[in-house]
Chain A
Amino acid sequence: MSNFMFLFRGGETPTSPERMQAQMQKWMNWIQKLRNDGKYIAGDPLQGTGKVLRSPNKVITDGPFAEGKEIVGGYFLVRAETIDEAADMAKDCPIFEGGGSVEVRPVQVINP
């Protein structure tokens, strides 16, 4: 078993409260499935603002610092046998319905 990180980018935020709840329910169902399969380790949402440093004394920009669809909105840490299995797990992510993307990255093991 290896660890993988899912990075969530973009996606659509509904304006209707009812559709917000529907979207959230889909995420909850997806996460619940990962948890039931023992794949889910941790996850956090990220705020939409921040700062970018290009060098220690160069421009520090207040976010949003990228195109909306480029902003990482949150991450998951998950468990999988292979990168293919991890990518397969990400296929059910509700973010795709709103045109967002999931980046799947293997976590490097420090002591191989």
Chain B
Amino acid sequence: MSDAASIHNLVDHFFRHQSGKLVAVMTRVFGLHNLELVEDVVQAALVQALEAWKIHGVPEDPAAWMYRVARNKALDVIRHRDVADRLNPEWTRSIGRDEGSDPLSRLFLSHEIADSQLRMIFTCCHPELPEESQIALTLKTLCGFSTPEIARALLTTEANVKKRIARAKRKFLDEEIKFEVPSGEALKARLGSVHTVLYLLFNEGYSSSQPHELIRRDLCEEAVRLCLLLFDHPASTNPETAALLALMLLHASRFDARLDESGNILLLEEQDRGRWNQKLIERGIYYLNESASGDHISRYHLEAAIAAHHSIAAGFGETNWTAILLLYDDLTQLHPSPIHELNRAIAVAQVSGPDAGIAAVQRIKGLESLDDYHLLHATLGEFHRRAGRAAEARRSFRRAMECTVSVSEQRLLERKLHDCAALEDLT
């Protein structure tokens, strides 16, 4: 073990990300119908790295080391398994050739790895797959999450995750889905569903229901990482991808400021803006500028612009709510959804007062679909509290508490109920 090797620490999530790259590369070799074989080969390569490095130290170029091992494991399989007859003959020609000069080695060039990963993104987000399967499969294949980690991240059971992934693998066979990046019009349509999955993945991690779980934050980081991969690839870079990336970065900038030292949720107006990550804000604004081209405005453009207004306001009181309200007007036009309208109502209340906010809530189309949504009741409670109606406020906050099991949310709502009591003492 050389000195250099002994002090070499791996970057965070190195194994996870290598797993994602290797699964994508090996799927190029063995095909989607052999996904389980692919996972076995990758697992074997990771284990070999672990067993060797933990005793011998990390080599100078750990990624290259791992690729070499993966290539050899793949060659073993090509040599020994009857899988060979369904393989592209190009790969069997790698047998006996020196590393570097064979077709298999070419797959480990960085642009080929990126290409394989892009194919995997488009495959995991294939519209034939149910939404739940898309997210679980993305985490498994592209992000290197284990089944228990996916279950913890998505707040579900391991059995459920296995079911979702099995369903996706069956679809690959039944629909004869190809491992490729679509082209032309098909690419445009599919890119939309890729954006949706990455957006959901990010939201899943950002939603504050389990803010203590580090793994939820990993979801956000993964969504950003995959979105960057999309943006950096000529096939998938477009203004909408840039807008989605901007949106994620701007939200992620507030991660550290969302909780106090005891793990309590801090609302936007309570957050110490000094703890907002300026580097992420700058990057977010950069991609927002990148997104300002073409003739199409997407929901991601509007949501990113709203996030940007919050990010650049010197304080909660200095927020440009009029501009934000206009953006919400456009957003609810472009992409009507009760959740967007609820957020719009918050902007209305900031511009025109709490009673205008309540009126905006009452006008939400499909309001009944939000009846079990704790944020609807928490928002109404806050409007009533600001309007000085303690009893109504308390009723709404209590209803909100019934709708959430999250301990952090419960604590926040208790704090709000306490505010109501203080309000009553005043009157």
Q: Does B7 contact A (CB under 8 A)?
A: yes
* CB-based contact A35/B43 at 8 Å: no
Q: Contact string, B359-378, partner A, CB cutoff 8 A, digits 1/0?
A: 00000000000000000000
Q: Interface size on B (CB < 8 Å)?
A: 28
The number of inter-chain residue pairs (CB within 8 angstroms) is 76
Residues of B within 8 A of A8 (CB): 55
Q: Contact string, A15-27, partner B, CB cutoff 8 A, digits 1/0?
A: 1111111011101
Residues of B within 8 A of A27 (CB): 54-55
Residues of A within 8 A of B51 (CB): 13, 45, 73-74
Tell me the minimal C-beta distance from B403 to chain A in angstroms.
Answer: 33
Q: Does A2 contact B (CB under 8 A)?
A: no
If over half of A's interface residues share one DSSP class (helix, strand or loop), that class is named, otherwise mixed; here it is helix
If over half of B's interface residues share one DSSP class (helix, strand or loop), that class is named, otherwise mixed; here it is helix
Residues of A within 8 A of B146 (CB): 15-19
* CB-based contact A18/B54 at 8 Å: no
Q: Which of A20-42 contact B (CB under 8 A)?
A: 20-21, 23-25, 27-28, 31-32, 35, 42
Q: Interface size on A (CB < 8 Å)?
A: 25
* CB-based contact B15/A18 at 8 Å: yes
* CB-based contact A45/B47 at 8 Å: no
* CB-based contact A24/B54 at 8 Å: yes
Residues of A within 8 A of B18 (CB): 17
CB nearest neighbor in A for B47: A13
* CB-based contact A21/B149 at 8 Å: no
* CB-based contact A28/B58 at 8 Å: yes
Tell me the minimal C-beta distance from B115 to chain A in angstroms.
Answer: 22
* CB-based contact A15/B43 at 8 Å: yes
Residues of A within 8 A of B46 (CB): 17, 20
Residues of B within 8 A of A97 (CB): none
Q: Which of B113-157 contact A (CB under 8 A)?
A: 144-146, 148-149
Q: Contact string, B6-19, partner A, CB cutoff 8 A, digits 1/0?
A: 11011001111011
Residues of A within 8 A of B6 (CB): 28, 31-32, 35
* CB-based contact B15/A21 at 8 Å: yes
Residues of A within 8 A of B10 (CB): 21, 24-25
Q: Does B255 contact A (CB under 8 A)?
A: no
* CB-based contact A23/B54 at 8 Å: yes
* CB-based contact A21/B55 at 8 Å: no
Q: A13-B50, A17-B18, A20-B47 are in contact. Are A25 and B148 (CB under 8 A)?
A: no
Residues of A within 8 A of B9 (CB): 25, 28
Q: A13-B51, A24-B50 are in contact. Are A18 and B144 (CB under 8 A)?
A: yes
* CB-based contact B7/A32 at 8 Å: yes
Q: Does A96 contact B (CB under 8 A)?
A: no
Give the residue of B7, B16, B55 whose beta carbon is less than 8 angstroms from that of A76.
Answer: B55
Q: Which of B34-90 contact A (CB under 8 A)?
A: 43, 46-47, 50-58
Q: Does B186 contact A (CB under 8 A)?
A: no
Q: Does B1 contact A (CB under 8 A)?
A: yes
CB nearest neighbor in B for A95: B54
Residues of B within 8 A of A20 (CB): 15, 46-47, 50
* CB-based contact A17/B144 at 8 Å: yes
Q: Does A85 contact B (CB under 8 A)?
A: no
* CB-based contact A17/B55 at 8 Å: no
Give the residue of A17, A18, A24, A43 whose beta carbon is less than 8 angstroms from that of B1.
Answer: A43
Residues of A within 8 A of B16 (CB): 17-18, 21
Q: Does A44 contact B (CB under 8 A)?
A: yes
Residues of B within 8 A of A19 (CB): 146
CB nearest neighbor in A for B14: A21
Residues of B within 8 A of A21 (CB): 10, 13-16
Tell me the minimal C-beta distance from B142 to chain A in angstroms.
Answer: 12
CB nearest neighbor in A for B148: A16
* CB-based contact A16/B149 at 8 Å: yes
Residues of B within 8 A of A17 (CB): 15-16, 18-19, 46, 144, 146
Given contacts A31-B6, A45-B54, 16 further A-B contacts (CB under 8 A): A13-B51, A17-B15, A17-B46, A18-B146, A18-B149, A21-B10, A21-B13, A21-B16, A24-B54, A24-B58, A32-B6, A43-B55, A43-B56, A44-B55, A45-B51, A74-B55
What are some 10 contacts across the A-B interface (CB < 8 A)? A15-B43, A17-B46, A17-B146, A18-B149, A20-B47, A21-B13, A24-B10, A24-B15, A28-B54, A45-B54
- 5 closest A-B pairs (Cβ-Cβ)? A16-B146, A27-B54, A17-B15, A21-B15, A74-B55
